[in-house]
Structure 1
């Protein structure tokens, strides 16, 4: 366990909650679905976000760049994920797939960070600035994908001095091996806590008490 969270200084970072990732009919959902179903992803995300709001922790949306025509095409070094986005037009702006899942909509006062181009929610965005302006010292990472955007954002957070919590069943990946790497091999080298949803909710409620 990670101890008690000071809710005034804690933020849940909800990474890439797009229909293309989380909804039936989404472009990437078929690749995520087996692991998502196994861990109870959608129910656990609802639980984490709902619990954070209930106890007064901040919820921050950390979205990926929504694809637009021309994106990456003239870049010298688009990464493999960006090349795939060019082909399948994931999270296309102005489409249903590029909208947030209906269960994960920003509430009044919640911050939506500038869209990240690659994997880290901090790189080339206002995430660090917004967290500091709101007095945040502890970040809880949930959303997609465990071994890419979640891990990259969490590593960057650690480098910037934040207390980092991963939630092993409030994320998913394309393969169980990727989840294993994210939480059993890589996560312990940088995260201060790796919890289940139930453990996190208990810690948040302890902070509220």
Structure 2
């Protein structure tokens, strides 16, 4: 069990980018994460976490990436490499299956769906910080995709804003094992307050 404590009235569960393109067979990006997703048991771990956090009443925040639309980024002065890939690959396209929620992780009544982030951070240019503060949240658990991009960027930003940040090493995935290693062994320890496994986190939460 983790030595960290999670006040249930001040802790939120942040699920980043639960789109079909990332998490479903046939998704545009899923083949690139599938080996690591299978290795860590990503989908089963996300399902287990979803059951656990809902059973104890933690607020669930869906933190979605911008759904691609025709014209996005094309006249930007400085689109990032990732934004260029989205533009050319039409990832998470609005109105298409790939840009819909994975059926197991779609928002439910009472969940908060924050405004879509254009880059990697779920906080930058969105209402995430405002809406967390309106619920008195001080602790955030951040899961989803990808470990070394949106998860890391969102978690770093959360730390800068003063939140207690938890990463879950087997509730995320990346394109390469080296990226997972960097996210959890090299970079994560410089900003995250806790880096746990799914089973460790569930045991800690359900002990409260």
TM-score range, shorter chain: over 0.9
Cα deviation code 1:121-162 (max 9, x no counterpart): 000000000000011100001000000000000000000000
Q: Distance in 1 between matches of 2:3 and 2:146?
A: 23
Structure 1 unaligned residues grouped into runs of 5+: none
Alignment correspondent of 2:64 = 63
Q: Distance in 2 between matches of 1:3 and 1:79?
A: 36
Q: Does 2:106 correspond to 1:105?
A: yes
Q: Aligned pair count?
A: 207
Q: Does 2:74 correspond to 1:73?
A: yes
Q: Distance in 2 between matches of 1:99 and 1:205?
A: 31
Alignment correspondent of 2:175 = 174
The 3-state SS of whatever aligns with 1:155 is helix
Q: State the TM-score, normalized to the length of structure 2.
A: 0.98
Alignment correspondent of 2:18 = 17
Q: Distance in 1 between matches of 2:186 and 2:5?
A: 25
Q: Could you tell me how far 1:2 is from its partner in structure 2? A: 4.0
Structure 2 unaligned residues grouped into runs of 5+: none
Q: Could you tell me how far 1:50 is from its partner in structure 2? A: 1.3
The alignment yields a C-alpha RMSD, in angstroms, of 0.6
Q: Could you tell me how far 1:3 is from its partner in structure 2? A: 2.1
Q: Could you tell me how far 1:4 is from its partner in structure 2? A: 2.3
**Which aligned runs of 4 or more in structure 1 are off by greater than 3 angstroms?**
none
Q: State the TM-score, normalized to the length of structure 1.
A: 0.98
Matches within 5 A, 1:120-131: 120-131=121-132
